[in-house]
Structure 1
Amino acid sequence: MKPFVVPFFWLILMSQLSIAQPFSWGQLPPVPDPVGFAGSVAGVSNGALLIGGGANFPDNAGPWGKTPKTWYDAVFALETSTGAWKKVGKLPRKMGYAISMTIPEGVLCIGGADGERHYADVFVLRYQNGTVSTKPLRPLPVPLANASGAVLNNTVYVAGGIESPTDTTAENLFLSLDLTKPDAQWQKLSGWPGAGRMLAVAGAQDGKFFLFSGTEVYQDTQTKTIKRRYLSDAYAYNPTQKSWQRIADLPHPTVAAPSPAYAAGQTHLLLSGGDDGANADKNAVLKETHPGFRTDILAYHTLTNTWTVTGSVSTDKKADAVSNPMGSTWAPVTTPLVVWNGQLVLPGGEVRPGVRTNRVLTASPVQQAGTFGGWDWGVVGVYFLLVIGISTYVARKMGASTDDFFLGGQNIPWWAAGLSIFGSKLSALTFIAIPAKTFATDWTYLFANVMIVVVAPIVAYWFLPYFRKIKITSVYEFLALRFNQRVKLLGSLTFVLFQVGRLGIVTYLPALVLSTVTGLNLMACIVVMSAITVLYTISGGIEAVVWTEVAQVGILLGGAFASLFFIANATGSFGSMFREAADAGKLHLVNQGWGITEPVLWVVLVGNFLSQLTTYSSDQVVVQRYLTTPTEAEARQSIWTNALLVIPATLIFFSVGTALWVFFRHNPGGLNPMGRTDDVFPWYISTQLPVGLRGLVIAGLFAATMSTISSSMNSIATVMTTDFYRHFKPKSSDKQRFRFARLATLGLGIAGIGIAIGLVYLQNASIWDQYLKLTGMFGGCLAGMFVAGIFFKQINSQGILIGFLLSAILLYFVQANGWVHFFLYPGVGIIGCIVFGLLFSQLFPEKKHPVKAIPV
């Protein structure tokens, strides 16, 4: 397949690949030493920045000067960025070149040296009431200096180093210590499949430990001198699988770069500067004319396994830098990297061989904004005017009745109802989260959506006829007829709780998009978008919601396919794109096995069959749509319309996620290093799509999401009015119920804002996972009541109440202990509800209910 020819758009696309400097640089007060230190330990304790120990040459002339290398034990603290350093205590001994990192208890220090010997000591520095104290921990099994380490999931990992100053080789030693267990021993793990090394950079990201670069130590066979071989290989350790994997080599060595590497966003590790070894053999000749170490910041992306240069360490070399190095700002090595108050801190270090600095550099992460300009805003404005126009037109002809507000007078055509069901499920959870999940993993979740095709005939021929026959507005009225009012109120309350949680998710995601694209404040985006949605939902009711969703379905699918077209063009062709993805395992579809805790094939199929059954049998948002049509036959057609649209839509969005992986694998510099995984598609839209088209895609996304929010609010308001307000105020008029429904919609909008703001701080890698867990937790037990009511006439109201509560308790423990994959949560809820319901119906028999169980 030949590449598409889109020269104009291609030029626009390629011109946008560069990303701005990811940090804003500054400096803290210098360390109170005229020369500064290399090899210090540093970290944060009780909010204060600590730095201790290290070594220097007091004349700052290196090994070619007149003073020998000197070691220190003083510990200094900086409580605020505008304050002054103060001496607060001492280390157990004079030492340097230990591993140090911040943990909840304080600054963890591991190993180290003093020029004569290396140490195995491990301790925590804790700062309190103006002084520092030391808490010893389990020592290393061997002494180590110049090693590297990082903390991952409360376990500290240590790699490499050398055991003594006279060693002729560096270690291929890999150790771990569980920090949650006071009596834990150091565990010796399998070493990485590469050379032993020291002065490497460690990092922790995406559930893995990473080891980058370093230098191999060896003895020259001819001169018998100790030499270093600078390395650029890298490795990732997966604690779950207990295995190493060699990953992409660095563009160049980064020996002794500040460690651990900075974990940016959810999928990047940033390495600042380092020694590439280019001048290693000339140090004795260059001496004070040495140019210093590298300044570029390398970004490693864990998902695409790629490297790119993203910005540089801020330096300022003055005219007298050779003779007066302290007057200039250099990129340091042999210093820890500390995160303090949201800033990266590089405290001192070595700036050229033997020369130290007392400067403390800071780097504040800069959240990148997409290139969203005037034409794009214009397109967004036009589309929003269309949405407002639809809702205004509908509002003018809508009567002030609950029948119009909740069911649109049952005058919605089947095709519009079907598109509306599809549009309400499309939303941001499809547009953003599915491509992000596929970008990060593979196609294992494909059957999660496709199972609707299996569920559709069951809903159309079993559930739908009974819902239409009993002429309900809220689907939970069925529970009152089949069981009693208490069962109905429990089902309605469960739905309200679930939907309010979902409302927060579908509010958060589009606000995240807008913030990513424009750089606007995320909180402001949540509030403004919710406010607009509440206004048109209150004014137009379900009919405005339906017709708005009809309008946006075509825009969204068209926008997604247009994005797929441009990504394929940028990578060569559809064929080459999918071949590359297949070779990397990104099209992997089926996980074999019979386990219940992983997304193996049977778990995906069974779990999502039950999940879809939950949604289409007991979710008011969906059921309310096919109650708006004039006849049962048209309602059945609306169900099939939605089911058949799901397949091409799912293929498009899964393909988009895979295409994004291929695109950014070839263009890693186009990624936002500070971004979340769920940002990846909107980030591509805002930075790579042509002007105008990106505005249209984003506008369609916002309209779709706002429609989804409005449909949730309308459905919750329907349940609250029909099942609660009318129950507790049976003599209320339709006008009063209509007024209550509008007030409830306003309150739901406020609740959605609060939950969305909470999700901002969750920082979860996959919002889709969270949504599926929420669906399983709340929806499974609810669907169990409907399945029991329709298919098991032996179950009575007492049995179903106890069955619901016990299955909810069971599901809580299942989730808390991770007994099954979250795809199976609905199955646990449904089966538990039925089994417990049957059992307790036999133990607590009831008189025959005046309304017979629905025959099957």
Structure 2
Amino acid sequence: MDQTELTTIPSTMSPVTVSFSWYDYVIFSAMLAISVMIGLYFGCFGTKQSSASEYLMGGKKMHVFPIVMSLVASHISGITLLGVPADVYKYGAGYWLCVLAFMIVAAVSILIYLPVLFNAEVTSVYEYLEKRFDQKTRVFSSFLFAVSQVLFLPIVVYIPALAFSAATGINLHLVTPVICGVCIFYTTIGGLKAVVWTDTLQFTVTLGAAGTVLVLGVKATGGLGNVWSKAVEGNRLDIFDLDLDVTRSDNFWAPLVGLTFLWIAWTNTNQGCVQKLLSVPTLKDAKFATFYYGLGMGVVKTASVMTGLIIYARYSDCDPFLANQIKRKDQLLPYYVLDVAGNIPGLSGLFIAGVFSAGLSTLSAHLNCLSGTIYEDFVSKCVSRDITEKTKSNYLKLIVVICGVVCTVLVFIFEHLGGILPLAIGFGGMTAGPMLGMFTMGILFRRANCKGAFYGGVVGLALITCLVMPTKYLQSRGMIHAPEKPVSVEGCAFNFTQHSNSTTEDNYALAIFKISFYYYTLIGFVLTMLVGLIVSYCTEEDQKIVDEELLSPMIRHTDLDYKNGVITEYNTVEKALHLVTDNSAKGDSAL
């Protein structure tokens, strides 16, 4: 039932008009120009990325610092910069628990997954599943990854393109092809090295934008003490609520447990992360990169959460949504920036450049790793094995162009699908859970076999899909909704007409469809593991001999023997036989 009421808003809350000055255009254009020059440098000078290893792995000579910067930058898109502050404003700071989740993720990755993947010497992380199980399992996992990326990347592009279009007045249909074209260009010709160094540049710009927003926001809201007190009064910091209700997304358990499993999956089964971690020279370097990556993500996520709290402090008594100043959640941060600092020359350009930098770094990184996955797991099966490394590199570049064009075209479709963002997030959980389940079975369970991994993944994906898709449908119809934190319009000072639609939740919706979206990855993981291990134990006759190096060091068979008076450790039958043969030969020669 529609209700109309008259409320007032202060003059400072009048609609903010956005326009780019020449300062803004210079800052934004400079960022794009430098990105292109980096791609030209790595693509046209030196080795020119003429081999597949050079193109995808940087020749395994990358340094820890740029790898860490690139890892953090590639996972910070407009979704983080625009979405997280808006969610904190509306639903509270529960997302802040991701900082604790990243600490757990780094420890688990370093102890369990990374040693296996690094020593497996794979180009595509899904090649591990072929070595451990079979080709069918690998192809299935690669297909899941490709689908998830094709659905995710257009959203990454669409959000900053929308912000740029709003700031400049340039049509979105003109902005998107130009920006995507720049990204596709430097990713295509420059390979991983161009991606890593442009990510480093763009991450620096992003930090500059986020830092500027934080400093200006703190000043505009009366200091951090005032921000904190406003957040407490508005229930935005009720993050240690230990309620075990799985339908809630604002308690302690949902973000901590859900984000832990989601980011373990992303860090250890996503080609984008693993490809970069494997491009450093040694396992020790990879562990350091993982550790600093977790720290970097925690810092950036904290900045995004603090931005949301600052925005709430600014509008705690005059909500811009109820005031009809903005219609969409992703408009909140641009509106806020222009409200508090719209009169500072160049700030709009820095902010939009930061948002776009985050989107470009994510797009370039994922295009690069997507090309490697598609080539290794699909294209390489259809071409001659005798092709040169230069030809392989050209195939990879062609795949980048095709995938980039597809993602650019999909942007024009996604702009008409308002519910596509929740749908894409659902797809992320749907694919991450089964993927993590298959990798975990291979790394931690010696008795897991190829049938268990494959059918566990398939059944896990099917069951989680049956949960997510109806949930998204019910949410799109307004039958299920997440309760929002309280807002106020008591401090508003001018007249406006507010239209609020009260939508009653469908009491007949099954409770299972109200489960928090944070748990999707965990549910998919558990279902995959459960089905996979049952199938494996029921088909033990199909179990093949497992190479110990494909298992986590925590479960490898470790035997001890003496060699030259020193205890020697070996973990495979071949190494043990070699040791015995070597000792026998030395004994015979002594006689």
1:308–1:383: structure 2 CA closer, same or farther, 3 Å change rule? closer
Q: In 2, distance between residues paired with 1:372 and 1:307?
A: 23
How far has the Cα of 1:603 moved from its partner?
Answer: 2.3
Q: In 2, distance between residues paired with 1:777 and 1:710?
A: 23
Q: Is the 8 A contact 1:516 1:682 kept in 2?
A: no
2:93 partner SS: coil
User: Could you say which residue in structure 2 is the equivalent of 1:797?
Assistant: 450
Is 1:677 matched with 2:329?
A: yes
Q: Is the 8 A contact 2:93 2:305 kept in 1?
A: yes
1:743–1:392: structure 2 CA closer, same or farther, 3 Å change rule? same
Q: Is the 8 A contact 2:141 2:435 kept in 1?
A: yes
Q: In 1, distance between residues paired with 2:407 and 2:364?
A: 11
How far has the Cα of 1:835 moved from its partner?
Answer: 0.9
Tell me, which stretches of 5 or more residues in structure 2 are unaligned?
472-512, 556-591
- From 385, 390, 394, give the equivalent of 2:33: 385
User: Could you say which residue in structure 2 is the equivalent of 1:763?
Assistant: 418
1:608–1:511: structure 2 CA closer, same or farther, 3 Å change rule? same
Q: In 2, distance between residues paired with 1:494 and 1:715?
A: 14
1:691–1:309: structure 2 CA closer, same or farther, 3 Å change rule? closer
Deviations 1:397-424 (A, max 9, x none): 2331111110111111011111111111
How far has the Cα of 1:846 moved from its partner?
Answer: 4.1
1:461 partner SS: helix
Counterpart AA for 1:470: A
1:590 partner SS: coil
Q: In 2, distance between residues paired with 1:455 and 1:809?
A: 26
1:553 partner SS: helix
1:823–1:473: structure 2 CA closer, same or farther, 3 Å change rule? same
Q: In 1, distance between residues paired with 2:393 and 2:99?
A: 35
How far has the Cα of 1:667 moved from its partner?
Answer: 7.0
Q: In 1, distance between residues paired with 2:214 and 2:317?
A: 16
User: Could you say which residue in structure 1 is the equivalent of 2:94?
Assistant: 444
User: Could you say which residue in structure 2 is the equivalent of 1:493?
Assistant: 143
After superposition, the CA RMSD in angstroms is 2.4
Q: In 1, distance between residues paired with 2:527 and 2:384?
A: 34
Deviations 1:440-460 (A, max 9, x none): 221012123541110112111
Deviations 1:743-798 (A, max 9, x none): 1111111221233223322335x95x555423211111111110111011211111
Q: Is the 8 A contact 1:807 1:829 kept in 2?
A: yes
- From 784, 791, 795, give the equivalent of 2:437: 784
Counterpart AA for 2:304: F
Counterpart AA for 2:302: L
How far has the Cα of 1:371 moved from its partner?
Answer: 2.3
How far has the Cα of 1:438 moved from its partner?
Answer: 1.3
- From 605, 625, 641, give the equivalent of 2:256: 605
1:730–1:799: structure 2 CA closer, same or farther, 3 Å change rule? farther
User: Could you say which residue in structure 2 is the equivalent of 1:735?
Assistant: 390
Q: Structure 1 residues 738-747 or 721-730, which shifts more?
A: 721-730
Q: In 2, distance between residues paired with 1:720 and 1:538?
A: 15
2:77 partner SS: helix
Q: Structure 1 residues 602-611 or 529-538, which shifts more?
A: 602-611
Q: Is the 8 A contact 1:370 1:518 kept in 2?
A: yes
Is 1:456 matched with 2:109?
A: no
Once the two structures are superposed, the pairs formed by residues 2-21 of structure 1 within 5 Å of their partners are none
Deviations 1:290-339 (A, max 9, x none): xxxxxxxxx7xxxxxx899869xxxxxxxxxxxxxxxxxxxxxxxxxxxx
Q: In 2, distance between residues paired with 1:661 and 1:518?
A: 26
Q: In 1, distance between residues paired with 2:447 and 2:54?
A: 37
- In terms of Rg, which structure is larger? 1
User: Could you say which residue in structure 2 is the equivalent of 1:703?
Assistant: 357
1:682–1:771: structure 2 CA closer, same or farther, 3 Å change rule? farther
User: Could you say which residue in structure 2 is the equivalent of 1:586?
Assistant: 236
How far has the Cα of 1:675 moved from its partner?
Answer: 3.8
Counterpart AA for 1:613: I
How far has the Cα of 1:638 moved from its partner?
Answer: 0.7
Q: In 1, distance between residues paired with 2:423 and 2:459?
A: 23
1:674–1:443: structure 2 CA closer, same or farther, 3 Å change rule? closer
1:585 partner SS: coil
How far has the Cα of 1:659 moved from its partner?
Answer: 1.1
Q: Is the 8 A contact 1:510 1:705 kept in 2?
A: yes
Is 1:467 matched with 2:117?
A: yes
1:630 partner SS: coil
Give aligned pairs, total. 502
User: Could you say which residue in structure 2 is the equivalent of 1:247?
Assistant: none
1:441–1:819: structure 2 CA closer, same or farther, 3 Å change rule? closer
1:658–1:792: structure 2 CA closer, same or farther, 3 Å change rule? same
Deviations 1:728-750 (A, max 9, x none): 33525133322221111111112
Counterpart AA for 1:567: G
Q: In 2, distance between residues paired with 1:307 and 1:772?
A: 38
Q: Is the 8 A contact 1:450 1:646 kept in 2?
A: no
Counterpart AA for 1:381: S
Is 1:663 matched with 2:358?
A: no
1:574–1:758: structure 2 CA closer, same or farther, 3 Å change rule? same
Q: Is the 8 A contact 1:517 1:683 kept in 2?
A: no
- From 271, 280, 292, give the equivalent of 1:641: 292
Q: In 2, distance between residues paired with 1:647 and 1:707?
A: 18
How far has the Cα of 1:703 moved from its partner?
Answer: 2.3
1:426 partner SS: coil
Counterpart AA for 1:705: G
How far has the Cα of 1:660 moved from its partner?
Answer: 1.6
Q: Is the 8 A contact 1:369 1:516 kept in 2?
A: no
Q: Is the 8 A contact 1:773 1:823 kept in 2?
A: no
Higher-helix-fraction structure: 2
Counterpart AA for 2:515: V
Deviations 1:71-129 (A, max 9, x none): xxxxxxxxxxxxxxxxxxxxxxxxxxxxxxxxxxxxxxxxxxxxxxxxxxxxxxxxxxx
Q: In 2, distance between residues paired with 1:798 and 1:387?
A: 46
TM-score where L is the length of structure 2: 0.80
Deviations 1:363-413 (A, max 9, x none): xxxxx7512211111111222222222222222223311111101111110
Q: Structure 1 residues 599-608 or 802-811, which shifts more?
A: 599-608
Once the two structures are superposed, the pairs formed by residues 551-630 of structure 1 within 5 Å of their partners are 551-599=201-249, 600-630=251-281
Q: In 2, distance between residues paired with 1:383 and 1:730?
A: 40
User: Could you say which residue in structure 2 is the equivalent of 1:531?
Assistant: 181
Q: In 2, distance between residues paired with 1:699 and 1:639?
A: 27
1:443–1:307: structure 2 CA closer, same or farther, 3 Å change rule? farther
Is 1:434 matched with 2:84?
A: yes
Higher-strand-fraction structure: 1
1:412 partner SS: coil
How far has the Cα of 1:716 moved from its partner?
Answer: 0.4
Q: In 2, distance between residues paired with 1:811 and 1:821?
A: 13
Q: In 1, distance between residues paired with 2:263 and 2:95?
A: 14
How far has the Cα of 1:700 moved from its partner?
Answer: 2.8
User: Could you say which residue in structure 2 is the equivalent of 1:852?
Assistant: 547
Q: In 1, distance between residues paired with 2:317 and 2:19?
A: 20
Q: In 2, distance between residues paired with 1:593 and 1:687?
A: 37
- From 361, 367, 370, give the equivalent of 2:18: 370
User: Could you say which residue in structure 2 is the equivalent of 1:518?
Assistant: 168
How far has the Cα of 1:842 moved from its partner?
Answer: 2.7
Counterpart AA for 1:373: S
How far has the Cα of 1:848 moved from its partner?
Answer: 4.1
TM-score where L is the length of structure 1: 0.56
User: Could you say which residue in structure 2 is the equivalent of 1:653?
Assistant: 304
User: Could you say which residue in structure 2 is the equivalent of 1:332?
Assistant: none
Q: Is the 8 A contact 2:320 2:326 kept in 1?
A: no
Q: In 1, distance between residues paired with 2:516 and 2:97?
A: 15
Q: Is the 8 A contact 1:308 1:668 kept in 2?
A: no
Once the two structures are superposed, the pairs formed by residues 347-366 of structure 1 within 5 Å of their partners are none
Is 1:400 matched with 2:50?
A: yes
- How high is the sequence identity, in percent, across the aligned residues? 25
